[in-house]
Amino acid sequence: MPKDAAATAPVRIEREGKAAFVVIDNPPVNASSLEVRAGLLDAIAALAKDETLDAIVLAGAGNTFIAGADIREFGKPLRDPQLPAVIAAIEQCPKPVVAAIRGAALGGGCELALACDARVGTSDALMGLPEVTLGIIPGAGGTQRLPRITGIATAIELSTAGRRLPAAEAQRLGLLDEVVNAPADLRGAALRRARSLAGRKRRISELPVPEQSAQAIESAAEDAMKSARGRAAIKEAITAVRNAARMPFAAALAEERAIFQRLRESEEAAALRYLFFAERQAARVTDLAEAAPRPIAQVGIVGAGTMGAAIAICFLDAGLPVRLIERDAQSLERGIDRVRVVYRRLSQSGRMTAEEMERRLARLAPGLGLDPLSQADLVIEAVFEDMDLKKGVFRDLDGVLKPGAILASNTSYLDLDALAGATRRPSDCVGLHFFSPANVMRLLEIVRGRATAADVLATALAVAKTIRKLPVVARVGEGFIGNRIYSAYRTQCELMLEEGAYPADVDSALVAFGLAMGPFAVGDLSGLDIAWRTRQRLAAARDPKARHPEALDRLCELGRFGQKTGAGWYRYREGARRGESDPDVHALIEKVSKEKGIARHPFTAEQIQWRALAAMVNEAALLLAEGIAARPSDVDLVLVNGYGFPAHKGGPLFWASRRGRKEVLAALDALPRATGDGFKRGNVERYLEEISQSGH
Q: Figure out which of the listed residues 39, 130, 300, 682 binds ligand 3H9, where binding follows CB under 6 A.
A: 130
Q: Figure out which of the listed residues 108, 479, 549, 562 binds ligand 3H9, where binding follows CB under 6 A.
A: 108
Q: Figure out which of the listed residues 40, 41, 57, 71 binds ligand 3H9, where binding follows CB under 6 A.
A: 71
Q: What's the Cα-to-Cα distance from 192 to each of 43, 378, 654, rounded to whole Å?
A: 21, 50, 50
What DSSP line would sit under 266-313, residue for residue?
A: SHHHHHHHHHHHHHHHHT--GGGTTPPPPP---EEEE--SHHHHHHHH
Choose the stretch contacting ligand 3H9; rule: CB under 6 A; options: 45-53, 138-146, 318-326, 531-539.
138-146
CB of 115 to ligand 3H9, least distance (A): 12
Q: Nearest-CB residue to ligand 3H9?
A: 107
Tell me the one-letter amino acid at 237: A
CB of 465 to ligand 3H9, least distance (A): 9
CB of 132 to ligand 3H9, least distance (A): 10
Q: What's the Cα-to-Cα distance from 533 to each of 61, 386, 416, 561, rounded to whole Å?
A: 57, 10, 19, 11
Exposed, middle or buried: residue 212 (CB in 10 Å: 0-12, 13-18, 19+)? Answer: middle
Tell me the one-letter amino acid at 46: A
Q: By C-alpha distance, which of 160, 97, 96 is closest to 128?
A: 160
> 631 near 281, Cβ under 8 Å?
yes
Indicate which residue of 91, 131, 256, 550 is catalytic. Answer: 131
Strand partners, 57: 21, 98
The residue among 29 and 637 lying less far from ligand 3H9, judged by its C-beta, is: 29
> 301 near 311, Cβ under 8 Å?
yes
Q: Figure out which of the listed residues 1, 3, 8, 28 binds ligand 3H9, where binding follows CB under 6 A.
A: 28
Q: Which of residues 229-268 bind ligand 3H9 (CB under 6 A)?
A: 260
CB of 236 to ligand 3H9, least distance (A): 13
Q: Figure out which of the listed residues 140, 179, 186, 278 binds ligand 3H9, where binding follows CB under 6 A.
A: 140
> 113 near 93, Cβ under 8 Å?
no
Choose the stretch contacting ligand 3H9; rule: CB under 6 A; options: 25-33, 290-298, 347-355, 688-696.
25-33
Work out whether 69 is an interface residue with ligand 3H9 (CB under 6 A): yes
Burial 624-640 (b: 16+ CB within 10 A, else e): beeebbbbbbbbbbbbb
The residue among 139 and 549 lying less far from ligand 3H9, judged by its C-beta, is: 139
Strand partners, 98: 57, 118
CB of 641 to ligand 3H9, least distance (A): 16
Letters for 501-520 (x = contact with ligand 3H9 by CB under 6 A, - = none) are --------------------
Work out whether 138 is an interface residue with ligand 3H9 (CB under 6 A): yes
Q: By C-alpha distance, which of 471, 73, 107 is closest to 273?
A: 73
Q: Is 326 one of the catalytic residues?
A: no
Cα separation, 99 vs 103, in Å, equals 12
Q: Is 111 one of the catalytic residues?
A: yes
Work out whether 29 is an interface residue with ligand 3H9 (CB under 6 A): yes
- The runs of H, that is alpha helices, within 324-371 are 329-348, 354-362
Q: Figure out which of the listed residues 40, 56, 90, 104 binds ligand 3H9, where binding follows CB under 6 A.
A: 104
Which residues here bind ligand 3H9, judged by CB under 6 A? 28-29, 31, 67-72, 83, 104, 106-108, 111, 130-131, 134, 138-140, 142, 260, 277, 280
Annotated catalytic residues are 111, 131
